[in-house]
Amino acid sequence: MNIIITLAYLLSAILFILGLKNLSSPKTARRGNQLAMTAMLIAIVVTLTKNEILDFTLIIVGLIIGSTIGAIIARKVQMTSVPQMVALFNGLGGCASALVALAEYNRLAGELRIDVIISMVISLFIGAVTFTGSLVAFGKLQGVIRSAPLVFKAQRFLNILLFTLFLIMGIIVTINPANSTCLLAILAIALILGILFVIPIGGADMPVVISTLNSCSGLAAAATGFVLSNNILIICGALVGASGFILTRIMCRAMNRSIANIIFGSVGTASANSNSNDKRKVNNYTEEDASIMLEAAQKVIIVPGYGLAVAQAQFALQELVTLLINSGVDVCYAIHPVAGRMPGHMNVLLAEANVSYDLLFDLGDINDDFQNADVTLVVGANDVINPAARSDSESPLYGMPILNADQAKSVIICKRSLSPGFSGVDNELFYEKKTLMIFGDAKESLNKMIKLLKT
Amino acid sequence: MIEPLLVSVYILVLAIFVGFETITKVPPLLHTPLMSGTNAISGITLVGALISAGAGHSTLSTVLGLLAVIIATINVVGGFMVTDRMLEMFKKGKRKNQNR
């Protein structure tokens, strides 16, 4: 029987890996996700045949309650809110791992091997940190908690103190596994540390935070695998851990920051210091000018930013693009890696508005194309097109990979106001001769352009 | 006792390498579904939760296990369903006037 269970877990692991492999292309991605679902189902069913399990009623009740809540959330959630949903689910994953560690501690009390107790401590710690950290991230993204960084004196000192305390408690529990007070102390420390880690990080850095927490939820599952000596947990945990780590690295690179800088730097409190003293003129144009330019253009590249999603203007944008394509204009989208609240978020928002994915290009693939474009249409983006990132070594943005929007013959920018982006840096491009600024709500501006183009 | 542990460490390290190799091939276009999908996969802790909840050891273990089952199931079902919902939206246009 044990052989069959082990082989079934192997099959499940293979399906998980094939599922992830299929995510490498939008054509096969949906099948990949279904393969992963099948893998999960196999793992669950096989586990239920284990003879350790005596009572099924509670399990069935738990599965039904969990599935119902999960299905309702997954159906109701709006695409703009996917980041906070993923944050919440990361937290749940971490919480479940911590709970399993506690339950196993209670079950195996007295006969704990040293490797099992160490894994338990790790699983409990990472799981609990992920749980509260994710709840704070969820609160910030949802707007329940102020998204601005909350920094107070001695924050770093407190973090180091708590972490040292955790290490001491961990050693005590390892030496004397019967000491349950210390284990509960570890839980309390981890819950507090999770909050302290995320609270000083601003809303703009959330893509990095979610990716890191994603990685942590995987690591917690892997640690639980060591507690239970269960290889499928170890394999899945490792896959998720690796995935979260890669995404964290990509996001850090796209924002030109190191992970240490994000955790300790708390950028976002930076005051806008450069734009008050010089009152330069911008070229304030109307939607009419823009629609005339768009109509006359042969090649248009669109740069959407998070402002587009805030204004719920992705559907209006798609209507405008369809009009342009039908009148023979070559249109495509340039997507910056951080154009959204989580990695790849903008692509999902545009896919929801029925934008074909072969019109979506990422930074590396499209950047050389801007010089051939007649018009760049920027909607709700700022820092990701700031030329200072290329040229001004004094700028905090310097070195950040940007979209070369300024290399097109002319640039139309739809924006609420001249206010600087998350970095607090003024954008030179706004004052250039070839730039047409259109101030106002993105959705209204786009709708006006659509009307003008139709006539 | 040390041998099964070492085998598990082998598996962990090799799985991390497999993860790196497969996930670096996922294009930025699909990073959000990747994250919500792997998020659901991390709900594999459910397997552990099932054992804790069903082993019938003590009331405390059972309650903790049951809580873990509910929470992990939300994670798994919600994560996979929302990923499927997103991937369904990724469609290729019928228009073929794109040069690239």
| Nearest beta carbon to residue A16 from set B41, B52, B97 | B41
Q: How many other CB atoms are found less than 10 A from the CB of residue A277?
A: 6
Domain ranges of chain A: 1-71, 85-267, 287-454
For B24, which residue in chain A has the nearest alpha carbon?
A246
Chain B contact set for A78 (CB, 8 A): none
The pLDDT of residue A440 is 85
Q: Minimal Cα distance from B73: which residue of A?
A: A66
Residues of chain A below pLDDT 50: 267-277
Q: How many cross-chain Cβ pairs, A to B, lie less than 8 Å apart?
A: 389
B10-65 pLDDT, tens digit per residue, is 999 999 999 999 999 999 999 999 999 999 999 999 999 998 888 877 888 889 99
pLDDT at position B18 is 96
Searching chain A, which residue's CA lies closest to the CA of residue B22? A21
Note whether A43 contacts B47, CB cutoff 8 Å: yes
Largest CA distance in chain A: 81
> With contacts defined as CB-CB under 8 Å, which chain B residues touch A107?
52, 55, 57-58, 61
Out of A30, A342, A358, closest to residue B88 by CB: A30
Assembly ipTM: 0.92
The fold for domain A287-454 equals: Rossmann fold (3.40.50)
Active site amino acids of A: 383
Sequence-distant (≥ 6) Cβ neighbours of residue A29 within 8 angstroms:
A22, A23, B30, B33, B87, B90
pLDDT of residue B1: 60
The predicted structure's pLDDT at residue A265: 60
| Segment 43-72 of chain B within 8 Å of chain A by CB | 43-58, 60-62, 64-72
Phi, psi dihedrals of residue B72, rounded to the nearest 5°:
-65, -35
Cβ distance A62 to A100 under 8 Å?
no
Distance (Å) of CA A448 to CA A179, A213, A293, A418, B42: 69, 42, 14, 21, 46
Check residue A284 and give its pLDDT.
Answer: 77
pLDDT tens per residue, range B78-95: 999 999 999 999 988 754
Mutate to test the interface with A, among B71, B91, B92 (most CBs of A within 10 A): B71
Partners of B78 on chain A (C-beta within 8 Å) are 69-71, 73-74, 85, 89
State the smallest CA–CA distance between residue A271 and chain B in angstroms. Answer: 31
Cα A433 from Cα A436, distance rounded (Å) = 8
How many whole angstroms separate alpha carbon A286 and alpha carbon A202?
34
Residue ranges of domains in chain B: 29-87
Q: Say yes or no for a CB contact (<8 Å) between B15 and A239.
A: yes
Tokens of B29: 């276009």
What pLDDT score was predicted for residue A28? 94
The crossing angle, in degrees rounded to 10, of helices A29-48 and B59-89 is 160
